[in-house]
Amino acid sequence: MQKFSAPGQFIYELLPSTVAGLGHDEDQFVIEIRSKESKAADSNQHHVKVQRRDGKLIADPPRLQIEAGDVVVWNTPDSSVAGYVVRGEGKTGRFSSDAMQKEAIYSHSFGIPGIYYWLDPHGGPSNGVIEVQPVDASDEQAATQWREKLAEGTVILVSDKKVTPAKVKILIGQTVFWAIEKASGIAIVDARLINKPSESKSKKTETRPKK
Amino acid sequence: MPDIIVAADETAATKLIHDAETTLGTISAPPGSGTLGPFSATWSADASFSGGAVDLIAPNIIRIANCQFHYHVSFGFSIDLNSFLPHFCLPQVCVRIPFIGRVCTPRICISWPTIPLPTINYSDLINFTADFTLNVQLVSGVWKVDVVIVGIPFLQLSPAATAILALIGGTVAAAVAWVPFIGPLLAGLVIAVTAAIGIAGLTGFLGPLLTPFVSGLSFNIYSQPQVFEALPAAGPIDPAVNINLDLITASVQSTDEDELVLTADISP
C-alpha cells in the first residue's frame, strides 16, 4: 500500500521479485493524482489487482485516477502469482515496495504457526519478532471466535530506526501491517531468507504478501 | 497292494506343511486400483504364510489351525481438500494508521489444493483356520501332492481396518500441515476424511485385496519326477536303473493314530 499525498503522476511497473532490479522489460502503469476535492477527513482507498497474463504481471486497472491523500493497495487473489515488487517514479518522487521510504504499508496474513523474525534485507536496523499462535477451530464456537479475530489487524510502526512494537503476538490467519512513516528505503523480509540462522526459529513459512 | 507306502503322523505332517509354507515364500499380487470410501486408490500387496497346527481328519482333510497369514499392503490416493474443508475467506482487515488514516485489506478467499498423500504402508498378520484337501496330479512328468484349501476362510479384518484408518488420519495431517490457514481446520479435516472412508470402507477395500491370497491357496508337500534314477550307471555295460512311478495316491487314514499316507505303484 502507498499513500500519494501530492498531486502529480507516477509511472510504475510490476516486477517479479526474482528479476526486480535486473532491467526486466515489463509493462508500465499509471497513477494520476489530482488535488483533493472532497473535504472528507479519511482518504480513499483504491485497489489494484495484480494478475499474470501472457507471462507478464498486469495491473488492473492499468490507469488509476485518485486524489492527493488517497491510498493505493496492490493485491493478487491468485496464489499462483509469486512475490512481486511495485516500483514507480514521478516528478514528485518515487516509490518501491522493496525500498519503502514514507507513507507506505506492507501487510501479510500469517497462515502457519511459528515464530517469525523479520528484518530489512538492505541492512537497515529495523527488525522484529512475530509469534503466530495455533488455533483449534474444530468446534463451532471456537471456529466462530477465530473467524471474528481474523478481522483484527496488528500495526507495527517503523519510523527512522524505531520499530513499535518490536514483538507481536497474533493468531494464525491474522494480518500484520508494517506502516513506514519514514525510512531510508526498507523492505520487510523473513530473516530465514537472508540466511541468518541465529535469528531463524520459525517452522514453515508461507507467502501471501499484499501491498 | 501298492509297492510303496509312506506314512506321516501329525507331527511329521506339520513339518511338511511348515516346510511347504516356507518354500511357497512371498506371493505378490499385481498392482491394482480400487475404491476406498470416496477416493480412488492405487494399491499393491504381498503375502506369505507360516505356522499353524495340523489336524489330520480321515479320509482326506488336513485342517490347519491358526495358520499365520502375513501381509503387506501399500496404497495411495489424493484428496481434494475443497471437498472436505469449508469455504474459507480472510475477511477485510481495517486498521487506522496515524500518518495515513484508515486502510483496509481486501477480502481474500482461499482455494484449497488437491493433496496427493504419500504411499501408506501397512503390515500385519491374520490367523485363520481352514480345511485343506489332498490333491495328487501328474504335471509335465512330475508327480505333485498338494494340499489345497477348501473354500475361502473368514479373515478378521476389523483390527487392521481400525489401525489403517488411524494411519490414514496421521498421514493426512502430516501431508497437509504446510497448507496455509489449514491449522485451525486440521482436526476437522482428519475426522471428515476418516469418516468418509470408515471402518466398513476399509474392510471392503482390504477384503478383495487380501482374499485372493487365500482363495485357492495350496501348498506342495511332495514332488517327484515320474521316472527317476534309482541306481546310476556304473559303466558302459551297467546302465542306470530307472524306476517309474506309475501311480501315487494320498489320503488320511485313522488307525491307532491319524496319519497322512502316500502310496506308490512302481514299475521298472
Q: Are B109 and B87 in contact (CB under 8 A)?
A: yes
Q: Which of A90, A89, A20, A32 is nearest to A57 (CA)?
A: A20
Contact A86, A94 (CB under 8 A): no
Q: What is the pLDDT at residue A88?
A: 94
* CA distance linking residue B202 with residue A127, whole number of Å: 52
Smallest CA–CA distance from A107 into chain B, residue:
B105
* Partners of residue B131 on adjacent β-strands: B63
Angle at which helices B158-176 and B186-214 cross, to 10°: 140
Taking the model in full, what pTM does it have? 0.80
For residues B221-234, give the mean pLDDT: 90
Q: Which residues in chain B have their CB less than 8 angstroms from residue A180's CB?
A: none
Q: Is B2 helix (H, G, I), strand (E, B) or coil?
A: coil
ipTM of the complex: 0.85
The answer to whether the Cβ–Cβ distance between A153 and B93 falls below 8 Å is yes
pLDDT at residue A26, as a whole number: 67
Asked if the bond preceding B159 is cis, omega within 30° of 0, the reply is: no
In the block, which residue shows the cell 471392503?
B204
Residues on chain B touching A113 (C-beta within 8 angstroms): 183
Q: Do A177 and B98 touch (CB under 8 A)?
A: no
Strand order across the beta sheet in which A28-34 lies: A63-67, A28-34, A8-16, A84-90, A93-96
From B108's Cα to the closest Cα of chain A, the distance in A is 6
Q: What is the domain partition of chain A in residue ranges? A: 2-98, 106-210
Cell of B200: 466398513
Judged by CB atoms closer than 8 Å, whether chains meet at B183 and A113 is answered as yes
Give A22-62 as a DSSP string. S-----EEEEEEEPP----SSPPEEEEEEEEETTEEEEESS
How close A23 gets to chain B, by Cα (Å)?
Answer: 30
Nearest to A138 among B99, B179, B187 (CB): B187
Cα of A123 to nearest chain B Cα, Å? 25
Residue of B nearest to A73 (CA): B105
Nearest residue on chain B to A42, alpha-carbon basis = B101
- Chain B: closest CA distance from residue A132 (Å): 11
pLDDT for position A161: 86
H helical segments located in chain B: 10-24, 158-176, 186-214
CA atoms within 13 A on the CB side of B16: 25
Q: How far is CA B181 from the centre of its chain?
A: 40
Q: Is the dihedral of CA B162, B166, B169, B174 positive or negative?
A: negative
Residue A58: other Cβ atoms inside 10 A: 16
pLDDT at B50 over 60: yes
Q: How many CB pairs under 8 A join A and B?
A: 111
Confidence at residue A18, expressed as pLDDT on a 0 to 100 scale: 65
Residues of B in contact with A152 (CB under 8 A): 93
- Summarize pLDDT for B121-178 with one digit per residue, the tens: 999 999 999 999 999 999 999 999 999 999 889 999 999 999 999 999 999 999 999 9
CB A195 within 8 A of CB A127: no
Does residue B93 carry a pLDDT above 60? yes
Q: What is the least distance, in Å, from the CA of A198 to any CA of chain B?
A: 23
**Cβ separation of B184 and A173 shorter than 8 Å?**
yes
CB contact under 8 A, B91 and A113: no
Return the amino acid letter for A36. Answer: K
Segments making up each domain of chain B, as ranges: 4-267
Can you name the residues that pair with B222 across neighbouring β-strands? B145
Output the pLDDT for position A203: 44
Q: How far apart are CA B209 and CA B198, in angstroms?
A: 17
Radius of gyration of chain B (CA): 30
- The confidence score (pLDDT) of residue B126 equals 94
Q: Which residue of B has its CA nearest to A3?
A: B100
Does the pLDDT of residue B252 top 70, yes or no?
yes
pLDDT tens over chain A, length 211 residues: 999 999 999 999 998 876 555 555 568 899 999 998 766 666 799 999 998 888 888 999 999 999 999 999 999 877 777 789 999 999 989 999 999 999 999 999 999 999 999 999 999 999 999 999 999 887 888 888 999 999 999 999 999 889 999 999 999 999 999 999 999 999 999 999 886 555 444 444 443 334 4
Q: How many CB atoms lie within 10 A of CB A23?
A: 7
pLDDT higher at B79 or A16 = B79
DSSP B85: S
Distance CA B166, CA A76 (A): 38
Q: What is the pLDDT of residues B102-126, one digit of tens each?
A: 999 999 898 899 999 999 999 999 9
Name the percent of chain B lying above pLDDT 90.
82
Strand bridging mode B227-231 / B241-254: antiparallel
Calpha distance A39→B256 (Å, rounded) = 115
Buried b (16+ CB within 10 A) or exposed e, B169-194: bebbeeebeebbbbbbbbebbbeebb
pLDDT at A82: 74
For residue B76, give the nearest of B29, B39, B114, B27 by alpha carbon: B39
Q: What is the pLDDT of residue A200?
A: 44
Q: How many CB atoms lie within 10 A of CB A123?
A: 8
The pLDDT tens digits of the residues spanning A132-180 come to: 999 988 788 888 899 999 999 999 999 988 999 999 999 999 999 999 9
A61 preceded by cis ω (within 30°)?
Answer: yes
